[in-house]
A = this chain, B = another copy of it.
Amino acid sequence: MRVLGVDPGLTRCGVGVVDGVAGRPLTMIAVGVVRTPADAELGHRLVAIEQGIEEWLDTHRPEVVAVERVFSQHNVSTVMGTAQASAVAMLCAARRGIPVALHTPSEVKAAVTGSGRADKAQVGAMVTRLLRLAEPPRPADAADALALAICHIWRAPAQNRLQQAVALHASKGRTR
Q: A-side interface residues toward B, CB under 8 Å? A: 41-44, 46-47, 50, 70-73, 76, 79-80, 83-88, 90-91, 93-95, 100, 102
Contacts and interface: CB of A to CB of B under 8 A. Distances in A.
A42 B100 contact: yes
A47 B41 CA distance: 23
B72 A42 contact: no
Contact of A94 (B44, B71, B86, B100): B44
A128 to B, nearest CB: 30
A72 B91 CA distance: 21
Contact of A79 (B72, B93, B95): B72
Contacts of A90: 42-43, 46, 84
Contact of A72 (B46, B80, B93): B80
Contact of A91 (B43, B94, B102): B43
A173 to B, nearest CB: 18
Nearest to A10: B87
A98 to B, nearest CB: 8
Contacts of A43: 90-91, 93-94, 100
A72 B95 CA distance: 27
Contacts of A47: 91, 94-95
Nearest to A94: B43
Contacts of A50: 91, 95
Given A41-B94, A47-B94, A80-B83, 14 more contacts: A42-B90, A42-B100, A43-B90, A44-B94, A46-B94, A47-B91, A47-B95, A72-B72, A72-B79, A83-B84, A85-B87, A87-B87, A88-B88, A91-B91
